Chain A
């Protein structure tokens, strides 16, 4: 395949950044998208040019590190797929492909396609856990959890923290990410005890990080590689409102 690329280049967080044109011939349709970038980088290196910085690690769709905007869509044209699991056969011969970093105030660009998503860690730090110290756990089967409940908790827990939900949201909201963690933990009896503290602190932290509010456009769910449901956002709101009501 022959393809044309327009890629965001930005030296560092101070640099204004710009789109730059590249061309690649002899792209194998079986290549993954990141392998195509490897190939481009190999060519840039051959010409003595600085290679394109992008984030990735597992290349298996599970670590959540590889997200970029491809032709304006988070992780590219396929549904529920991370960038590393996207293959060049999904593009047409001669196609022009636009590649940009995920954009959000809370995700500053570091270099080229690399961004800083540590805001998501701080949201978890604010309460996205069950407060149990090592060594004090009771026998596991002493806390029965219904099959359906465990599966539902899993559906929420499957979030890989890639940030696509933030990137596609017109308000740059992290509601899908945060609510998934809230649902995961509140569904389980172990996590219910701290439910109200958790939701208050996590929501406050989300605001403090500069993420916007959710206005229910549901783009996040559509682009999420793990098919995390927007219903979790409703649950988060419900938990939050319950807390406000009980307070007054």
Chain B
């Protein structure tokens, strides 16, 4: 059933071979073909603009008031590309290997190689669009190294790389809107996928301004709706991020792969109170100069600067001497949680660790540190009121990135023909852990350089299909179902807010399907989520009417999260090994490190929806390693 469609042959020829043999659609026919793109982040904007340029008729949707606010805008650190501009030995194979290894050997070789292969063109594309990347004094592009790799391959635009890449893609999209090839629907939320004869043929969306339910038909549908890490409620994600689009598609038959692999980022700001709505990320680059520690003494009362060296536990340096404060995200997050759980956490809620710059300031001087991280220190002070030049920052792990998502084949097509998933919404490329700066890359590459070919290959067989008539039965029933769901939510008439349920779910998931998992905890979580879901349908209250109503929007998203959360637990439960972001306490080495089991778990878990009252069905796509040998990831 799961045909990954990776072309045969040597790694370096696979994508070229695919492109040489992909079917084409001639320009006259493109004008007759319609494509729906849901999402205007890097993945959505780049594919919508590219298809518009090629002459397809495109409809672009997002729930924000303008495409430019998609969550890609928040990415700070940078985007990877192997240009070897530093002459330090970077090349496609090395980048491929770092990514495969970083993902703990749980991704497909063919996909990852292609990601590395296309990375250089992305920088070219972005520069041509006017993205103001950092430059050397001679006018050439600068880059730096990031997250545990030994070469410089991360391009950046100050601490706002995502913003600038997104503006480039957004401007390309706006140009197509002006030319009339793309129709824009901001403040529209996709609430269902319409399939006809097994193929994706359109979507049902809610106009968030009027409350109207609209039908849109197309020859193919692309979901580029980003990650669902907001399911934990407290996360680094924007408030509106959701899993609804992929979840509704899942219920229409699209498989979801590896849903429990959520990256927990080590350097976020800690939760400071119950009211808190999000955790702000501090760029990982801070770990280049900051040292992470907790007091050796459980009930340390002294202020951090008064704690002498001998009473501090620099636990990353202690446990991972080779990488120390720069160890990969999964390792650093888990080590922090271990200390916090053991009772050494700091701050009023004892839920954080220190990130200390005092040594760097002493050695390099404050101006140097200010030059490197000034904007981050300012941001930190704005949020916490603390001056991090004078006392250490408080940081803590936070949910950040979904490695899982809709299962897609090499063409980025889901198990529903004509339904494609791009960017963070698909599961591809990152395995069990994502290396820093690879996600912006994946979102862009999917949209600019992969889907334009693979979509053409699919659409070539659709040129005889007339414009999709949205008065067909399939649209009627999908629209009726959506309206029924919305009315049902509105009429529960309980006492509790959607946020209440979201926070409760988030806490269950964080404790039991977060940084570490156990069989017992996951089984409990499944039961707790089931009970919470039942309570949701009895106790939810949504004030207001059917038009502009944020509470209704939230409720719909939480309803989906309550189902997706359960699936995440099933996924984590069946994977009886530890790998990347997934740490099962039963499977660890005597030193407390993750213990992978390649013999039994070298596969992608793809889940099928079996109805509300049945457990999901697991399908396995075996991972073949032809070109690299999985090794133990050691950062000691």
Q: Which residues of A contact B (CB under 8 A)?
A: 12, 28, 30-32, 34-35, 38-39, 42, 44-46, 48-51, 53, 55-65, 78, 81, 85, 87, 89, 110-111, 114, 116-118, 120-121, 124-126, 128-141, 143-147, 150-151, 153-154, 157-158, 160-161, 184-185, 188, 190-191
Shortest Cβ distance from residue B113 to the other chain A in the assembled complex, whole angstroms? 20
Could you tell me the distance between the alpha carbons of A53 and B541 in the complex, rounded to whole angstroms? Answer: 16
Query: Known: A62-B160, A144-B139. Is A125-B382 also a contact (CB below 8 A)?
Result: no
Question: With A157-B164, A157-B167, A188-B130 in contact, do A134 and B46 touch (Cβ < 8 Å)?
Answer: yes
Q: Is the CB of A87 within 8 A of B382?
A: yes
Query: Quick one: which of A63, A157, A158 has the most chain B CB within 10 A?
Result: A63
B278 engages A59 (CB within 8 Å): yes
Nearest 4 A/B pairs, CB to CB = A144-B139, A129-B171, A137-B128, A137-B124
Of all chain B residues, the one with the shortest Cβ separation from A201 is: B178
Is B66 engaged at the interface, CB distance under 8 Å to the other chain?
yes
Pair B124/A35 contact, Cβ less than 8 Å = no
Inter-subunit contact B69/A39 (CB<8 Å) = no
Residue ID in chain A nearest B273 by CB atoms: A28
The answer to whether A125 and B275 touch across the interface, beta carbons within 8 angstroms, is no
Q: Of residues 90 to 140 in B, which have CB atoms within 8 Å of A's CB atoms?
A: 121, 123-130, 132-140
Which residues of B sit under 8 angstroms from A30, Cβ to Cβ?
Answer: 272-273, 384-385
Are B543 and A65 closer than 8 Å at their CB atoms? no
B149 within 8 A of A: no
Chain B interface size, as a band, is 35 or more
Tell me the complex Cα distance, A48–B495, Å: 8
Does A55 contact B129, Cβ atoms closer than 8 Å? no
> When the two chains form their complex, are residues B73 and A62 in contact, meaning their CB atoms are under 8 A apart?
yes
Instruction: Tell me whether A185 and B69 are in contact (CB under 8 A).
Output: no
**Measured between C-beta atoms, what is the minimum distance from A54 to chain B in Å?**
8
Contact B543 A49 (CB under 8 A): yes
Are A134's CB and B497's CB within 8 A? no
Complex Cα–Cα for A151 and B158 (A)? 9
Contact pick for A63, options B74, B124, B278, B549, CB 8 Å: B74
Q: Given B141, B174, B277, B449, which contacts A38 in the complex, CB threshold below 8 Å?
A: B277
Q: Is A55 in contact with B65, judged by CB distance below 8 angstroms?
A: yes
Select B134's contact among A137, A150, A190, beta carbons within 8 Å: A150
How many angstroms between the C-alpha atoms of A87 and B385 in the bound complex? 9
Let me know if A191 and B135 touch, CB within 8 A: no
Interface residues of B, Cβ cutoff 8 Å to A: 46, 49-50, 53, 64-69, 71, 73-74, 83, 85, 121, 123-130, 132-141, 157-158, 160, 163-164, 167, 170-172, 174-175, 177-178, 184, 186, 209, 238-240, 272-273, 275-278, 280-281, 379, 382-385, 448-449, 452, 495, 497, 499, 541, 543-544, 547-551
Are A63 and B64 in contact, CB atoms less than 8 angstroms apart? Answer: yes
Q: Pick the contact of A58 from B74, B141, B275, B276 — CB < 8 Å?
A: B74
Instruction: Specify which of A42, A139, A191 is in contact with B130 (CB 8 Å cutoff).
Output: A191
Q: Are A133 and B497 in contact (CB under 8 A)?
A: no
A-B contact pairs, 29 of them (CB 8 A): A12-B547, A34-B277, A35-B277, A42-B497, A44-B543, A53-B548, A55-B65, A58-B71, A58-B238, A60-B74, A63-B69, A63-B73, A65-B64, A85-B379, A110-B209, A117-B65, A121-B67, A121-B177, A125-B174, A125-B177, A134-B50, A134-B449, A138-B124, A138-B128, A143-B127, A147-B135, A154-B157, A157-B164, A161-B66
Cβ-closest chain B residue relative to A154: B132
Given known A-B contacts A51-B551, A53-B550, A125-B174, A118 and B132 have beta carbons under 8 A apart? no
Asked whether, in the complex, the Cβ of B276 is within 8 Å of the Cβ of A57, the reply is no
Task: Name the distance in Å between A34's Cβ and chain B's nearest Cβ.
Answer: 7
Question: By the criterion CB–CB under 8 Å, are A190 and B127 in contact?
Answer: yes
Given A145-B135, A154-B164, answer yes or no on A31-B547 (Cβ-Cβ < 8 Å): no
* Bound-state Cα–Cα, A12 to B68, Å: 25
Given contacts A65-B69, A126-B178, contact A150 B133 (CB under 8 A): yes
Most chain B CB within a 10 A radius of its CB, from A64, A124, A139 = A124
Given A35-B276, A42-B497, A46-B495, also A12-B548 (CB < 8 A)? yes
Q: In the complex, are the beta carbons of A184 and B275 less than 8 A apart?
A: no
- Which B residues touch A53, using CB under 8 A? 548-550
